[in-house]
């Protein structure tokens, strides 16, 4: 049985090779016959186009809504399939508060940005030291602390709910928002700074500086922190941008005026025109795009905590 199968299989593969090599082999066919490739595997022919197709689709789905929204903000009307009547700055004027309209997003955005800046600065103060401790030292319960610091375990909605009840007087204030934003966004700061620390020889740097006579606080401030400045900057940009449009926690906490940016967007979904809303959202898009540009400039892979090697 098996003796029979052998020659049979060989002859079939021979038959498979022949037409193939005749088709593209030309005159050298006889010499390369042994090397003539069998038909490429299915995955070689289909795999890459399929993956590229999926990637194209994903990129389109992720970017088209953003681009359309941005473009629409300059259109006069959006009835019909495509927005029409370019180019008008009417909606941008409304949104930027130059038209005296109630859609003026600037007070809310300014308030949000101020809070975000506060949260960002607080994050530098709390995030950089703990990132250093977690990267540099081995100690009891380090892994637990690491998890606590870099994994956001309490969602914004729940934290907001708890916050208002715990601090009925200050929870809704700017100070409360700063503390909340700082805690919610701290993993981003800790992670980016950690990956920056991991790329350098922390122990040797610290030991060099100390053997040269720098006290330990001085070593940290004049040697370690400057070496991590890109990571700290990246962490600042990410925490700041995310906090500027934070919604979940803010929505549960806020009750005053001005409404922070994201809450303002929510409250105006029904009474603003689509184009006004598009312009308001586009303001934030511009912010994110500049953030990504700066992040790529300082060696981050776009809006993530991962660095390019």
Partner 1 sequence: MSEVTLESLTKRYGDELAVDGIDLTIRDGEILGIVGPSGCGKTTTLRTIAGFETPTHGRVRFDGVDVTHVPPEERHVGLVFQSYALFDTMTVRENVAFGLKMRDVPRRERRERAGALLEMLDISALADRRPTTLSGGQQQRVGLARALAIEPHVLLLDEPMTGLDAALKTRLRTAIRDLLSDLGVTAIYVTHDQEEAMAMCDRIAVLNAGTVEQVGTPSAIYRRPANAFVANFIGNSTLLTGVAADGRVDLGFAELEVAAATDGTVTVAVRPEAFEFEREGPINAEVTSATYLGDRTQLTATLPDETTVALHADAAETYRTGETVSLSIDDTSVHVLE
Partner 2 sequence: MSVPESTAASVRRVRTFVSTTARPTTERERERRRIAIMCLPFFALATVAGFVPLAMLVRMSVAADAVWIEGWSLDAWRTLLTEPTYRRVAWNTVWFVGLATIVSVVLGVAVAHALERYDLPFERAVVAAVSFPIALPGIIVAILVIAMLGRQGLVTNAIAAVTGTSAIDLASATAITGLFLGYVYSLVPRATMVLRGTYAEVNTQAEEAARSLGASRWETFYHVTLPEIRPGIAAATILTFRSGLAIFGTVLLLQSHHVVTLQIQREISVGTYRPDVAAAIGLVYVVFIVAFTFVGLRFVRTDTVAI
Binding partner selected for residue 223 from partner 1, partner 2, none, CB under the kind-specific 5 to 8 Å limit:
partner 1
Is residue 37 involved in binding partner 2 (CB under 8 A)? no
Is residue 204 involved in binding partner 1 (CB under 8 A)? yes
Is residue 266 involved in binding partner 1 (CB under 8 A)? no
In contact, 170 and 176? CB cutoff 8 Å: yes
Among 33, 152, 208, 286, binds partner 2 (CB under 8 A): 152
**Nearest to partner 2 of 21, 304 (CB atom):** 304
Is residue 55 involved in binding partner 2 (CB under 8 A)? yes
**Nearest to partner 1 of 93, 210 (CB atom):** 210
In contact, 240 and 117? CB cutoff 8 Å: yes
CA 305 to chain centroid, in Å, comes to: 8
Least distance to partner 2 from the beta carbon of 180, Å?
A: 6
- For residue 236 the two structure tokens come to 């600042």
Binding partner selected for residue 153 from partner 1, partner 2, none, CB under the kind-specific 5 to 8 Å limit:
partner 2
CA angle (243 as vertex; 269, 273 as ends), nearest 5? 15
Binding partner selected for residue 87 from partner 2, partner 1, none, CB under the kind-specific 5 to 8 Å limit:
none
Query: What one-character DSSP code corresponds to residue 300?
Result: B
Binding piece for partner 1, criterion CB under 8 A, among 18-26, 208-216, 274-282, 288-296: 208-216
SS (HEC) of 141-208: CHHHHHHHHHCCCCCHHHHHHHHHHHCCCCCCCHHHHHHHHHHHHHHHHHHHHHHHHHCCCHHHHHHH
How far apart, in whole angstroms, are the C-alpha atoms of residue 85 and residue 72? 10
Binding partner selected for residue 95 from partner 2, partner 1, none, CB under the kind-specific 5 to 8 Å limit:
none
- Scan for tokens 């399929």, then name that residue: 50
Maximum Cα–Cα distance across the chain: 92
Subset of residues 201 to 260 that bind partner 2, contact rule: CB under 8 A: 216, 241-242, 245-248, 251-252
Among 41, 81, 87, 212, binds partner 1 (CB under 8 A): 212
Is residue 72 involved in binding partner 2 (CB under 8 A)? yes
Binding piece for partner 2, criterion CB under 8 A, among 5-13, 17-25, 26-34, 124-132: 124-132
């Amino acid at each position: 049985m098996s003796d029979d199968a052998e020659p049979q299989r060989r002859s079939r593969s021979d038959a498979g090779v022949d037409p193939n090599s005749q088709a593209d082999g030309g005159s050298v066919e006889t010499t390369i016959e042994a090397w003539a490739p069998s038909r490429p595997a299915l995955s070689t022919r289909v795999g890459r186009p399929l993956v590229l197709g999926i990637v194209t689709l994903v990129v389109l789905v992720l970017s088209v809504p953003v681009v359309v929204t941005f473009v629409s903000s300059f259109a006069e009307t959006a009835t019909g399939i495509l927005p029409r009547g370019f180019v008008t700055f009417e909606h941008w004027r409304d949104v930027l508060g130059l038209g005296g309209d109630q859609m003026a997003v600037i007070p809310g955005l300014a308030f949000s940005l101020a809070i975000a800046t506060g949260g960002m600065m607080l994050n530098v103060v709390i995030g950089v030291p703990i990132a250093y401790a977690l990267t540099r030292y081995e100690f009891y319960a380090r892994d637990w602390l690491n998890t606590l610091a870099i994994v956001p375990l309490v969602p914004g909605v729940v934290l907001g709910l708890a916050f208002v009840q715990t601090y009925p007087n200050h929870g809704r204030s700017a100070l409360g928002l700063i503390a909340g934003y700082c805690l919610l966004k701290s993993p981003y700061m800790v992670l980016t700074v950690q990956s920056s620390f991991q790329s350098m020889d922390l122990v040797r740097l610290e030991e060099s500086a100390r053997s040269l006579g720098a006290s330990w606080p001085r070593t940290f401030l004049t040697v370690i922190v400057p070496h991590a400045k890109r990571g700290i900057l990246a962490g600042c940009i990410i925490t700041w941008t995310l906090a500027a449009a934070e919604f979940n926690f803010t929505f549960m906490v806020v009750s005053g005026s001005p409404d922070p940016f994201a809450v303002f967007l929510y409250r105006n979904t029904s009474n603003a025109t689509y184009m006004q809303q598009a312009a308001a959202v586009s303001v934030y898009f511009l912010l994110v795009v500049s953030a990504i540009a700066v992040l790529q400039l300082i060696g981050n892979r776009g809006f993530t905590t991962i660095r390019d090697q």
